[in-house]
Structure 1
Amino acid sequence: MNKLSGVESSESTEAAAVMRIPRTFHSIVDEQKDYEFRRWFPSLHRILVLDGIQDPGNLGTLLRSAVAFNWGGVFLLPGCCDPFNDKALRASRGASFQLPIVSGYWTHLVSLKIEFGMRPLCLVLGSEGRGLSEKSESECELVSIPMTGKFESLNVSVAGGIFMFVLQPRSCRNNLK
């Protein structure tokens, strides 16, 4: 029961539920085939791209931030953990079911970029240990968050939340006052 519940102490767990994968999740296994982008992401204004995010807690927190800041969806590159892992689901607080999530390859993102002429804006975040893949580094304009403290870097979910907030349209940020 501990494995099913995903928590250390499952003594109070009386039942387990079967979860159906939401219709907003698409997994693309064919690297070369073109797909219907508008079916994946009904809103193409901003897409969060995760490159090898392995920690389910970080992935879930990033999904929650994407919903909080009204991003159009999330694209998972190879090496990312399962967005429906029990820890990712807990960290996302339900965000996993509120936005489109697509699992695919860089070839699909390049096709998306070509089809929509550099729109949508994609924020690509790299893995906690290795950072961005070589392909991501070559395809993206690299940005960073300047820090004045003595730490080398921020946690990927913290940095992602900052970037997602800053990359909102100005009108959305002004409504928060």
Structure 2
Amino acid sequence: MIRDIAGRHNHTVKLARKLQKKKHRRERGLIVGEGMDLLRAAVLAQAVVVDVLVRRELFDDLPVALRERAAAQQGGADVAGGLDIGLCDQELLDYASSLGGSADVIFICRRPVCHLSDLSLREGPVFYLDGVGDPGNVGTLCRSAVAFDLGGVVCSPATADPYGPKALRAGMGAQFALPVVTDVTPEDLRVHLANAAPRFPDGALFAVADPRSGVEAHRLAELLSEARPLVLVLGEERAGPRHEWPGAERVTIPQARFDSLNVAMAGTILAYETWRARRPKRNDLAGNDGPSPIGLTPWKEES
């Protein structure tokens, strides 16, 4: 349905504000995002958008698929999946926004649900975020994982929600483009990788980012093997990973001065180094004339 919204007591406005909290996102299986680019990324990945708040003059900028779906419902057609588009002014959008500034559109969609079995272990390394508490860093790492063709992102229970508004904004749609698995303990991950042993006879290799010492990042290529998945473990800048990782390799990024890289920058460099090593082996990538486009893979909706 398409309707005008003028007051703060509208259901979508109140829901958008509630979904700023992780508790409500988990309970309802919904997430809230802001920005036209993020909305387009969600639609391209076939996310199920259920509510939209948009400035009246920007209605025609919404993805065609959403406008057509809402118009069909307006005409009484039996369309699978309800969609409400609320036309409102900037003041109401600012009230519903959690990010500050002038939001042009706010949308609510079903929360992507991914499992460890969805990880593309043969496609590339996987990030394991062990207690990364800043949502902006989490979103940026998801974006870097897509840019450098990683097999997925796994988040520990102590890591910020990758589907919170700040993480979604930093990810620029990356969370819709690759498997992002949440609330996974190191033991859960180890068990899953052990069960995948028939496919990977050499087992998995864990490499922990360490600012003090370890294999230099440019030598990550030496750790890559098609028979052995690589898990890049990242923690907070100061405290490091929350858990001990016995037997793991240590990987460091040499720096000219004091320890000045935050976790998102460090993870991006490590992801790039693995990409640089893997790129010549891939036949489906563009040559030196430009980067290869990264497609968006539809995610599974929770039943």
Rounded Cα–Cα distance in structure 1 between residues aligned with 2:161 and 2:188? 19
Using a 3 Å threshold, how does the CA distance of structure 1 residues 144 and 171 change in structure 2: closer, same or farther? closer
Rounded Cα–Cα distance in structure 2 between residues aligned with 1:22 and 1:113? 22
Rounded Cα–Cα distance in structure 2 between residues aligned with 1:74 and 1:171? 18
Q: What SS does the corresponding residue of 1:167 show, helix, strand or coil?
A: helix
Whether 1:161 and 2:239 are equivalent positions in the alignment is no
TM-score of the pair, normalised by structure 2:
0.48
Whether 1:40 and 2:132 are equivalent positions in the alignment is no
Identity fraction in percent: 38
Task: Look at both structures and tell me which one has the larger radius of gyration over its CA atoms.
Answer: 2
Q: Which amino acid aligns with 2:180?
A: I
Match for residue 108 of structure 1 among 188, 192, 209: 188
Q: Give the alignment's Cα RMSD to 1 decimal.
A: 2.4
Match for residue 249 of structure 2 among 141, 148, 152: 141
TM-score of the pair, normalised by structure 1:
0.79
Higher RCO (CA-CA < 8 Å; seq separation 6+): 1
Whether 1:96 and 2:175 are equivalent positions in the alignment is yes
Equivalent pair of 2:121/2:229 in contact (CA under 8 Å): no
After TM superposition, the structure 1 = structure 2 runs for residues 43-62 of structure 1, keeping only pairs within 5 Å, are 43-44=121-122, 45-62=124-141
Using a 3 Å threshold, how does the CA distance of structure 1 residues 169 and 154 change in structure 2: closer, same or farther? closer
Equivalent pair of 2:99/2:166 in contact (CA under 8 Å): no
Structure 1 gap segments, 5+ residues each: 27-36
Equivalent pair of 1:54/1:128 in contact (CA under 8 Å): no
Using a 3 Å threshold, how does the CA distance of structure 1 residues 147 and 173 change in structure 2: closer, same or farther? farther
Aligned residue for 1:17? 107
Q: Which amino acid aligns with 1:40?
A: D
Using a 3 Å threshold, how does the CA distance of structure 1 residues 20 and 139 change in structure 2: closer, same or farther? farther
Q: What SS does the corresponding residue of 1:49 show, helix, strand or coil?
A: strand
